[in-house]
Each structure stands twice: as structure tokens, then as C-alpha cells.
Structure 1
Amino acid sequence: MSSSDLITRVLANKYSPNGAPSLDNFKVVSAPAPTKDSLKENQVLVRNLYLSVDPYQRGRLSGATNSFVPRYELNEPIYNFGVAVVEAATSTGIAEGDIVAVPNASWETKSVVNAGTLRKLPTGTMDNARDFVTVFGMPSFTAFVGLTTIGKPKAGETILVSSASGAVGQIVVQLAKARGLRVVGVAGSDDKVELVKSIGADAAFNYKTCGTFTEAIKQAAPEGIDIYFDNVGGEFLDATLANINTGARIVSCGMISQYNVKSADEAYGLKNTFNIVTKTATFQGILVGKYYGSPTEDEFMAEVGKLYKEGKLRYRIDETTGLENAPQAVLNLFDGKSFGKSVVKV
């Protein structure tokens, strides 16, 4: 069998309920390539172009059966949002050469998928296919939904954004600035802080070198926090609660500081939750799935598309080339090595 008859696949190899994942959680293998002759009715053969890499995938590697996302099954390909080109189809609505968004794209170079799960992207998308897992991808949509539906921003307010150089944070910073807010961003290196400032943050600081979180927030936002877009949880969330204003809105998007704790005893216990009561604050989580196909998605595409087309929105991308290197791209999310929105170019 020649190399052209084989595909590369990334399988789930083992679960890690606690602690940090490692390369042992994955297995990279070769397998026979699917062919158009194997397609059944309403199936599509796609060649994956780009795959999204996101922190929530950590939960899929835990093995938990009661999580908000299904676990990856051992010895089966892991999956996430992707963009692919159609090589063959038995569906009348999709043709060879079409570019499609794949919600649960298997991490393999080629896949057979059901036509009904795909979203056909505009003609001519090949040159900017990556945009649909980056600037128009799930993290960006999450940023838009969290900011607009929970944050309810008003011009003149102050928003604090953690992981502000990340996939979600970059969009929050720029959309908030476009709405006339004072934006304070937080990141984990001086280079990342400079990026956050360059995309519009009025103030930004490195949480690794800022000293006491509570005081660092107070110094960056002496007028207090009206909206906190939280991507980290833990001690930083607690420090923010100590700095919120009356009527504050906390958008709970992620808690990456807590994903790899080794036990419940190691998890950070919040101390300033009474401020949610005394400041009559709103504290709400965001899962973006239910907003797909809604008018909110149309609003997102219109607003972000316009800003992006006009050159008023920048988006840093951390691209890994080669599916065989995808496992390391996942691990890089949890040790600060990724910078921007992480994707794999298949």
C-alpha cells in the first residue's frame, strides 16, 4: 500500500481524569484512506484543511461521562471544529470542490461524513478557509455571545478580560473597544500584553509578574469593574470579585486555571462570592452551542465580518502544521506556549 493510500489519524489513547494531560493521551496512526466508492447515500468524502484546537477539549480527555461535552472514545479519532474541501459526495446539495464547515471534524487527513452535518461555505472560500476556524470560529462566536447577551456592554463602562491574547479574549477586547468601553486586558507574558495593547486595550498587565492580583486589578481599573469576561477562574476570578462595581456582570466562559488540578483539595475555593450579593452582580456561564442557527449568529457574522473586512479587527493565530503535531498543539494550550488562536493546518 503506497503512502497515497494511507491517511493520518489522531486517536484518544488514554484518559487523564486529573492533572495535566500528556502526549500519552494521544496516539498518531496510519490507516487506509477512504474512497469515493465507499460512500453511501448522503455521505461526503472530505479532505480536512484546518482543525480548531480549544481548551474545552481537556474535558473530553478526562473520561468523565457527566461532563457538558461527551468524552472522546478510546482508540477512536478525537474531533473538534474543522474546515474541509469536498472530494466526492452522494448528496445533491454538496459537490466536489466545495468548502465546508465540519462541526465535529475527526482528526484525520480524510473523512467520510454525513452531508446533513456540514455547512457549505461561500464560493471562493479556499483562500481564506482558515478564517472559519479562527476569526469566524467557535471561540470568536463565544466572545460575541458572552459579551452581548450576558455582558450587555454600555459605552463608558470598564471591562476586564482575562486571557486577553487568546482565541476568545482577542475578540472580546476589540468588540468591547468598538462599543466605547474602557478595556483592561490580562495575559501571561510581556509579548502577549503588548499584543493586547496593540488591539485596543486601554490598560494591560502580565498576571505572572503583577504581584497581588487584587491590587493589580485595582491599579489598572481604579474605577472598578463593570464587566468581567472570565477565561481563567480560580484566584484571579476571586480577585476580580473584590473589585466589581454595583450591577457588575461576570461572564463565565472558561476556567483554564482549574482544568488540570490533581484533586478537589487542590481546586481554588472562591472567598469573595458575597460581593455578588452586595453588588447585585450577575454571574452567568456561557455555552455557545444553542446560539448556532439563531439570529445572534447572523449578527455576529455581520458585525465581525464588517470589522474584519475593513481592517479594524486583528486576530493572532498560532498555527501548527501537520496532523502528527496536533497533540502537542493541544498541550501547548495549558502551559502558556500557545499565543493566539490555536489551529492545525492538516
Structure 2
Amino acid sequence: MSASTITRVLLNNYVPSGSAKISDFQIVQAPAPTKEQLKENEVILRPLYLSVDPYQRNRLSGAKESYIPMYQKGQPISNSLVATKGQPISNSLVATVIASTSGEFQEGDLVIDGGGKWETEYVARAGAIKKAPVYPGINPRDYVGVLGMPSFTAYVGMTVVAEPKAGETILVSSASGAVGQMVVQLAKARGLRVVGVAGSDDKIEYLKSIGADAAFNYKTCGSLEDAIKRAAPEGIDIYFDCVGGELLDAALANINEFARIVVCGAITQYNLSSGEEGYGVKNTLNILIKSAKMQGFTIGGYFGTKIQGEFIEHVSKLYDEGKIKYRMSETVGLENGAQAILDLFEGKNVGKSVIKA
């Protein structure tokens, strides 16, 4: 049975620049949907786990000219991102079906919704969700964790963009985060020497526990350029960039000939108060001098393709065998979801940030 009321997380204010505040969100109660209200081929979902990711910062901005559609002010947070092939670009949440008018879904089915809403219960079209596949050793939380969008991003960045070769050295920024921790382990599995960068001693120890050959705390290391040289005295062949800014500059100063710079994110630049505060990268000439390649990518176009199936098969097997670890920071209660977003941009999470609804 559905609850009599549900909790919704709404966007209260757009945040075009600077850091979001808890007052930019609103938590409201609303009548719960009922099976009698369903149209044909609709379901009522009860989310179990929801994903919290850096790309959500752009969706809070209100910017209309972005590769990511903005959230709608006064409406529930919704991860309704759809790729060109019609496939959802994010395993934004995993949920249980609690009512259905679809022959495809029954009450109790575990499903993945790439366009899920931040509501404790909501109505979804049957054609917009899919049943969660069964893999050995995989539990519901893993669909927004080790098999979620950030892990897939790491897999595509490593296999398609980075072109890694055994024996090379890779530098990974935000290496203890949702993407970075997977990059570290995929790189080790391919025989690379891995240098991780993170923002606390606890995170550094975690990186060493998952196989990083060297790691340093960017907050306490002094000169970033010198810290990279100490950790990778023979230079960097691949830089997997999740942060942009000063660390990107320092990495460019340490690249080897024919290096590849994989641009996955720029989280240090997301909360700037104005464009003038943006970090001006200085060492771009090294891309020319070293015949290096710098390539950005977004994950949307890879959903629904052959490589997604390869990712799921490969990573689920390694995870079940204990050859991949995946750490998550869990926030309990959807009513605390807004704080989980703020904590992500303050670096308070270790690993993948999720909400247990």
C-alpha cells in the first residue's frame, strides 16, 4: 500500500554562481499517488537509493545554454537526462514497484529509473524504466554505485579516451571520488602505475588500499607541480582530470611525450562567484611541445551502446570476485538529500555519494 503522504525535494532558487545553500531547496509533503490514479502502462515507484553527482551543480544554475537541462524551479529534483539514442544517461535511482497497470512490471519488481524523481513515491511510465538485471554479488545500492553512471564514466574514459598501455603512469585527480576510485582500479588492472590525488589523509589511505602506487593530499603537499614530480619522477603519460584549475596546470607541466589528458570534469570551477574567478591554465603550450592529446567527453552518448554491456559484464564480475572495491558515502532519508548535494561540493564525501530513501 502507498503511504498517505510523500516527501518531495524541490528546487527553491536557481544558483547561477557561488555555492548553493540549504535554503535553495525546499522539502514538502504531498498526497501520495494511488493505483486508482494510474493510466495504462504506468507504475508507482518507491525509491530505495538515489545517486548524487557533480553534474547536478550545472542543473542548479538555471543556465539554458548547457549540455545538461536545468532543473525546474518549484518542481521536484529530477534526473531526467536522456541521450540521443533514447536511453537514460544515468542510473539516477533504483526503486521498488509498489503498484502497476503494466503487464511488464509487477508489484515488488526492482527497477532502475534513469529519470527518477526525488520523491518518496512517484508515478513513472513503464517504458521509461527497466528491470534491474540480476548479477552475482550485486545488491540494490550497487546499481547507483559500482554499476552506476560515474563508474561507467570511468570505464569509458579509460577504455575509449585514455588509450592506456601497460607500464605507463597515470595521474588521477579526485581519485577517491565516484569516478576516480574506479579509474584507479581499472588502471591497475591494465598494468599502469597509478598516482592518486585527494583532499584528506583518510582518502589517501583509501587510495593506497585500492592499489594506488603513490598518492598525495593536494591540501598539504605544497607545490602541486613539485608534488607530482615527486610522485611520478618519470612523468605522466595519462592525466585523468576531474577537477580542472590549478591541478590541471600542474599536471600539464609534468606530461610526457604523446601524453593523453582525459577531461572528465572541472569541479574546482563549478562554484565560482564570477567568470573572472576562473583559473587561467598557463601550461597549455606543453600540449604542443609534447605532442600530447587533450580530449573531453560526456557519458550520455555511450548509454545503450555495446560498450555499456561490456562495462556491466566486466565490472560486475570483478566486483563479485572481490577484485574491485567501491566505497560509498550514504545519506539516510530523502529529506536530507539537499544536504547531500552540498556536502558533495564541499568534499565531505568519500567515494560515491548516495541517498538511502
Q: TM-score, normalised by structure 2?
A: 0.94
Whole-angstrom CA distance in 2 between matches of 1:125 and 1:214:
43
Alignment partner for residue 246 of structure 1, among 253, 257, 274? 257
Instruction: Give the aligned CA root-mean-square deviation in angstroms.
Output: 1.4
Q: How does 1:1-346 map to 2 (within 5 A)?
A: 4-80=3-79, 81-122=92-133, 128-346=139-357
Classify the secondary structure of the residue corresponding to 1:7.
Answer: strand
- Point out the more displaced range, 188-197 or 276-285: 276-285
How many angstroms does 1:79 deviate by?
2.0
Q: Is the 8 A contact 2:137 2:319 kept in 1?
A: no
AA paired with 1:56? Answer: Y
How many angstroms does 1:122 deviate by?
2.6
How far does the alpha carbon of each residue in 1:272-303 deviate from its partner, in whole angstroms, 9 at most, with x for none? 11111111111111211111111101111111
Classify the secondary structure of the residue corresponding to 1:106.
Answer: coil
Whole-angstrom CA distance in 2 between matches of 1:104 and 1:156:
40
How far does the alpha carbon of each residue in 1:103-149 deviate from its partner, in whole angstroms, 9 at most, with x for none? 01100000101111112113599981100000000000000001110
Q: Is the 8 A contact 2:136 2:320 kept in 1?
A: no
Q: Is the 8 A contact 1:142 1:286 kept in 2?
A: no
How far does the alpha carbon of each residue in 1:144-201 deviate from its partner, in whole angstroms, 9 at most, with x for none? 0011100011100000000010000000000000000000000000000000010000
Classify the secondary structure of the residue corresponding to 1:105.
Answer: coil
How many angstroms does 1:44 deviate by?
1.1
- Point out the more displaced range, 123-132 or 100-109: 123-132
Whole-angstrom CA distance in 2 between matches of 1:161 and 1:208:
15
How many angstroms does 1:28 deviate by?
0.4
Q: Is the 8 A contact 1:99 1:125 kept in 2?
A: no
Q: Is the 8 A contact 2:204 2:215 kept in 1?
A: yes
Q: Is the 8 A contact 1:25 1:61 kept in 2?
A: no
User: Gaps (5+ residues) in structure 2?
Assistant: 80-91
How many angstroms does 1:340 deviate by?
1.1
Whole-angstrom CA distance in 1 between matches of 2:208 and 2:138:
29
Q: Is the 8 A contact 1:51 1:344 kept in 2?
A: yes
Classify the secondary structure of the residue corresponding to 2:282.
Answer: coil
Q: Is the 8 A contact 2:138 2:320 kept in 1?
A: no
Whole-angstrom CA distance in 1 between matches of 2:271 and 2:203:
22
Classify the secondary structure of the residue corresponding to 2:39.
Answer: coil
Classify the secondary structure of the residue corresponding to 2:240.
Answer: strand
Whole-angstrom CA distance in 2 between matches of 1:126 and 1:244:
39
Q: TM-score, normalised by structure 1?
A: 0.97
CA distance change for structure 1 residues 124 and 189 in 2, over 3 Å: closer, same or farther? closer
Whole-angstrom CA distance in 1 between matches of 2:24 and 2:67:
20
How many angstroms does 1:56 deviate by?
0.7
AA paired with 2:254? Answer: N
AA paired with 1:91? Answer: S
Classify the secondary structure of the residue corresponding to 2:345.
Answer: coil
Whole-angstrom CA distance in 2 between matches of 1:125 and 1:11:
36
AA paired with 2:227? Answer: A
CA distance change for structure 1 residues 218 and 319 in 2, over 3 Å: closer, same or farther? same
- Point out the more displaced range, 152-161 or 124-133: 124-133
Whole-angstrom CA distance in 2 between matches of 1:221 and 1:127:
36
Q: Is the 8 A contact 2:138 2:316 kept in 1?
A: no
AA paired with 2:20? Answer: P
CA distance change for structure 1 residues 125 and 41 in 2, over 3 Å: closer, same or farther? farther
How far does the alpha carbon of each residue in 1:196-251 deviate from its partner, in whole angstroms, 9 at most, with x for none? 01000000000000000111001100111111110100010011001111111111
Whole-angstrom CA distance in 1 between matches of 2:107 and 2:326:
30
